[in-house]
Amino acid sequence: MAKQWSISALFCLLLAGLSSLLNFHERLALPQLASLWIGYLYVMLIHLAPAIIYLLLFKITPRFRDRILLSFLPTAGWWFSELLMRLRWHTLAEAVWLVVSPFFFFQLALILAALGIVHVLVLVLNKQKPRFLSGLAYATLVLATALSAPASIEPFLIGYQSTFQSNLLPRPQDLPGRLNMTNTDSQSQNPPNIVFILSDDHRHDFTGYMGHPFIETPNIDELASEGIIFDRAYVSTSLCSPSRATYLTGVSPYKHGVWNNFTPWSEENRTFFEYLKAVGYSTAFIGKWHMPGNTLPNIAGLDHFISFTNIGGQGTYEWNPMIVNGTETPSRTRYIATELTDYAIEWLEQQTSPFVLYLSHKSVHANFQPDTPDIGIYKRQQVNLPEGAHVWSAHTKNQYVHLNNAPLDESIRRYGEAIHSLDREIGRLLASLRSMNLADNTIVIYTSDNGYQWGEHELIDKRWAYETSIRVPFVVRLPENRYGATINSSLVANLDVAPTLLDAAGVRVPGYMEGGSLLRLLSDEKKNWRETFFYSYFFEPPYPTPTSFALITERYKLIETNWRGYELYDLWNDPEEKNNLANDTAFTQTHHKLVKLLTVEKERSSISSH
């Protein structure tokens, strides 16, 4: 068996070596082309090494059981390395739980399928008949393993939270509940219409108006030229569900209770729809809801509700079925951004002022799919990756869970193409407002639920507390283009949307809302506005981002994680957050001051430890 073990061990070493090359590419000064092909080989071997070993062992290892055992050794070694990595930050029980995740079953299904195909091919080439019952049993095993991946997501996450996070996530005790509409009135004689456009995962600097080198967003740029660009807009949690809940409620996760993509929305939360409906607005939510649960909630104050629940609320980019006011409806249009815009325009055509439209796009969430006319429009564009990143950064630092099997530069181009497709639909909606003579008395806001890391700090995805992850595009066009073509650098946030909309409608902003009205900020330069902003994210398995807190001031940012301790950045002189000043004696006083402020915020939010 020595030869057989040697073959298996060779692949173990090969996977470990390729992984090390990707992790230490900078120290080794590997050319980008070398990193590219190393990455291709690594991704291929993660899933195909067992099948290749099985093929090599077929004639020299007669027993099926031995072939399977030896074939799985590299994969087992890879999973074991993942376990060791987790043990740096988690207990053994927690690390094992995190490794045996739904992604584990998905990957196992791919490996088993490849092994089965190779086995059948070898039998055919050797003119042997596959055993029907054995083949059927194996196919059933592969299918069951594949189906167990989505089926295990909910018990995996609920089990993790109840076992390991039960004392971590604060539970809101005083959700506001239903509004007493008889006590709500408007002080405005001519309240404006409101169109709020929310995209998904669109980071703040990937637009034309922010000077991106090749991504074109002419319609968002036009909106920016007519409105106010808030160039320091943050989200309280850089993740879909918590951020969306904050936009709707005007409170942060510790008050609305949606901590991540798997903690449920409570119908005792109160949205801005309820207030606006009480003072005569027609209300519509069209698009991605994406908060936990297999059904859509009953949102008080909402007249028109079009959304979807398939793929865990993510939906699909093409031919996505809709739920229109509770009725399941087949898709009418291939591309989802087009279909949502169609629904929005149709609803607008039926309205008389005042109205509020919340248009929530799936775009530009992974897998970053552009509309057909935009596929490949940026394929010849040069992508300059951030310092320290390489084309396979998505496969370092345990980020394989994102299943991003394309080189980083290709993914960025595709992301840009999806942004361009979204921009065209935004332009179509804005043109409809003009053609209906509604633009002059309509507030239009464009923003996103979070940003996105594209290799900065050699990281992929949102969740992290760095600027590229927690800052979003934020453009507001007011009626008659008031304050148009201006830039405001105050610290604003998704917390401020609900108070702003209520203020615009002449409704008193309730005291429980944590944000402030941007209209008051714009009209009074001396207004007492926030000097700090508190960010939080709670570890959401199996994604590798740790529980994170941050305190942001006009100049500095302090980040705290249990993986990296404290990080301190001078955003004026180091906007890309490359130089951690936490241990720099010249900034000791600043560091201590921000630690105290961060501690106060955590205590105020009932967060004592992480």
User: What is the Cβ-side half-sphere exposure of residue 66, based on CA atoms within 13 angstroms?
Assistant: 14
What is the SS3 assignment for 558-603? EEEECCCEEEEEECCCCCCCCCCCCCCHHHHHHHHHHHHHHHHHHH
pLDDT at 331: 97
Q: Hey, what amino acid is at 13?
A: L
Residues 214-234: pLDDT tens digits?
A: 999 999 999 999 999 999 999
How confident is the model at residue 260, as a pLDDT?
A: 85
Is the pLDDT assigned to residue 67 strictly greater than 70? yes
Reported as a pLDDT band with limits 50, 70 and 90, residue 168 is: low
Indicate the pLDDT class of residue 609, thresholds 50, 70 and 90.
Answer: very low
Query: pTM to 2 decimals?
Result: 0.87
- Confidence band of 66 (pLDDT split at 50, 70, 90): confident
**Residue 390: its pLDDT value, please?**
76
Question: Taking residues 457-484, what's their average pLDDT?
Answer: 94
Which pLDDT score, from 0 to 100, does residue 503 have? 96
pLDDT score, position 169: 63
Place of tokens 């729809």: 273
> Is the pLDDT assigned to residue 608 strictly greater than 50?
no
422: Cβ contacts below 8 Å, ≥ 6 apart: 199, 202, 337, 361, 363, 364
Nearest 5°: the CA angle 464, 47, 96 is 55
Q: What is the pLDDT of residue 42?
A: 81
What beta strand segments (E) does 380-514 contain? 442-448, 453-454, 460-461, 474-477, 486-488, 492-493
Tokens of 399: 């980020």
pLDDT of residue 30: 79
DSSP string across 484-541: TTEEE-S-EEGGGHHHHHHHHTTPPPPTT--S--HHHHHH-TT----SEEEEEE---T
Domains of the chain: 2-164 (no CATH), 182-523 (3.40.720.10), 548-604 (no CATH)
- Chain centroid offset of residue 339 CA: 22
Mean pLDDT estimate for the chain: 89
User: What's the CA gap between 468 and 210, in Å, rounded?
Assistant: 13
Q: Which residue has tokens 């801005």?
A: 272
pLDDT per residue as tens digits for the range 344-383: 999 999 998 799 999 999 999 998 999 999 999 999 999 9
In this prediction, residue 491 carries a pLDDT of 97
| Mean pLDDT of the 598-605 span | 90
What is the structure's pLDDT at 402?
55
pLDDT at 43 over 80: no
Cα separation, 497 vs 235, in Å, equals 11
Quote the pLDDT of residue 540: 81
> Which residue matches tokens 């409906």?
277
